[in-house]
Homo-oligomer: A and B are copies of this chain.
Amino acid sequence: MVSSVNCSSRSSSFLLCLFLPLLVSVPLSVSAGAFQAFQPLPVVPPIPENNVLSKEKVELGKQLFFDRRLSLNGKLSCNSCHDLMQGGDDGFSASEGAKGVSGQRNTPTLWNVAYQTVLFWDGRAVSLESAIEEHLLHPEVMAMASKLDVSQRIKSIHGYEHQFNSVFPGDSEINYKNITKALATFIRTLTTPDSSFDQFLLGNKLSISAQAQRGFTQFIETGCASCHFWVNLSGPVPGLAFQMGEGFYELFPNYPGTDYEKKYQLAEDLGRYLVTHEITDRRMWRVPVLRNISHTAPYFHNGSVSSLEEAIRVMAVTQLKENLTEQQVSDIKAFLETLSGKFPVITLPRLPE
């Protein structure tokens, strides 16, 4: 059951009703309303009851995350496209899967996805576990032939046997469900807390520059914050206003027919419509995470824009009908750069032979 809330100014949103009155009243400095709409990244992400987190499960998930044998050709691991040494993505417009075929959409960052309520650009996965299940079998991603093939591949690596026994007692057989559960558990630990902006929200007014503070005000005044708010600046998170599976969507481009739309082919992909086939879902997209945005170029669902400055300009025009000055663009960029958090130290796993 997938429900959705649309953020677009053309659609209703109880969240807009909640926050926008607070945000639009901001004149030159940052109001109290802004601080209600933005929240530091919680230390612990929401953990589903049917996949509790344990240290051993995280470790097993990490091994699987880096194990290329989970792909058809044995050459791609999750980390190949979601590179944890960088922005949790791969820097390409679209990633090439294990069959040598690229998808149509840009690989989103994995950092902080634990705080997202739906996954994929079109929100078609209602849990991290189901998103991973789809990745393993998707012909443009890992391209494994079947669930059975996935579990048999992992079963054939004897070093994993003992670990699955210990991580999933009572359900010790290596199966598809448990492989995705272990992967999801590791991915939930991929959070980047304590960004300069988080410190700012917690009261350290010197943690971000005067330019970034101006950019934050501009971000709110221009209207970016109407959709990009809360802990991931991508709308609500599970356990708070929204539950897992409830998506927060936006029409993009909101103002059709702009030069940017043509230049970057922004309207060709029909987005969520391809999942629901509802006319109202044409070009609706899950509002993307802005944390670590300066590490995740290129931008947009098709990865067509390579610089953050240009992405800011495009968003202002296509979504809000605003032509920003270069100073405003620069200020908003300075603000967005404060959203880069502390990347955790991750040790390379040892993979069983």
Given A66-B85, A297-B353, A353-B295, A74 and B96 contact (CB-CB distance below 8 Å): no
Please report the C-alpha to C-alpha distance between residue A66 and residue B96 in the assembled complex, in whole angstroms. Answer: 19
Chain B residue at minimal CB-CB distance from A353: B295
Please report the C-alpha to C-alpha distance between residue A297 and residue B157 in the assembled complex, in whole angstroms. Answer: 13
Closest 6 CB pairs of A and B: A85-B351, A346-B348, A86-B351, A85-B348, A345-B347, A347-B347
Interface of A is mostly: loop
* A84 interfacial by beta-carbon distance below 8 Å: yes
* A123 interfacial by beta-carbon distance below 8 Å: no
Interface residues of A in 275-311 (CB under 8 A from B): 294-295, 297
Task: Report which of B68, B86, B347 forms a contact with A353, defined as CB distance below 8 A.
Answer: B86
Chain A interface size range:
20 to 34
* A48 interfacial by beta-carbon distance below 8 Å: no
**A348–B74 contact, CB under 8 A?**
no
Interface residues of A in 103-136 (CB under 8 A from B): none
Please report the C-alpha to C-alpha distance between residue A347 and residue B294 in the assembled complex, in whole angstroms. Answer: 23
* A256 interfacial by beta-carbon distance below 8 Å: no
Chain B residue at minimal CB-CB distance from A340: B353
* A158 interfacial by beta-carbon distance below 8 Å: no
* A55 interfacial by beta-carbon distance below 8 Å: no
Contacts of A75 in B (CB 8 A): 80, 96
Please report the C-alpha to C-alpha distance between residue A350 and residue B92 in the assembled complex, in whole angstroms. Answer: 18
Contacts of A353 in B (CB 8 A): 86-87, 294-295, 297
Task: Report which of B91, B345, B348 forms a contact with A84, defined as CB distance below 8 A.
Answer: B348
Smallest beta-carbon distance A189→chain B, Å: 13
A32-76 vs B, CB cutoff 8 Å, 1 = contact: the mask equals 000000000000000000000000000000000011100000110
Interface residues of A in 319-353 (CB under 8 A from B): 343, 345-351, 353
Question: What are 20 A-B interface contacts by the 8 Å CB criterion?
Answer: A66-B85, A67-B85, A68-B83, A74-B92, A83-B351, A84-B348, A85-B348, A85-B349, A85-B350, A85-B351, A86-B350, A86-B351, A86-B353, A87-B353, A294-B353, A297-B353, A345-B348, A346-B348, A347-B347, A347-B348
Please report the C-alpha to C-alpha distance between residue A68 and residue B76 in the assembled complex, in whole angstroms. Answer: 13
Please report the C-alpha to C-alpha distance between residue A84 and residue B353 in the assembled complex, in whole angstroms. Answer: 12
Contacts of A345 in B (CB 8 A): 347-348
**A348–B348 contact, CB under 8 A?**
yes
